[in-house]
Amino acid sequence: MTDHSNGDDITITVHQAFLAMADFVWEFGQRAGDDLLTLIGDISPLPDGRTMDPAAWSDWLASVERIKSGLPPRG
Q: Tens of pLDDT along 52-72? A: 999 999 999 999 999 999 999
On whether residue 29 sits in a domain, the answer given is yes
pLDDT value, residue 1:
44
**pTM strictly above 0.75:** yes
On whether residue 8 sits in a domain, the answer given is no
Task: State pLDDT tens for residues 6-39.
Answer: 666 789 999 999 999 999 999 999 988 788 899 9
On whether residue 44 sits in a domain, the answer given is yes
Between 1 and 22, the higher pLDDT residue: 22
On whether residue 4 sits in a domain, the answer given is no
Burial class (CB in 10 A: 0-12, 13-18, 19+), 75: exposed
Rounded Cα distance, 30 and 25, in Å: 9
Look up the domain containing 36 and give its range.
Answer: 14-68
On whether residue 26 sits in a domain, the answer given is yes
On whether residue 75 sits in a domain, the answer given is no
pLDDT value, residue 12:
95
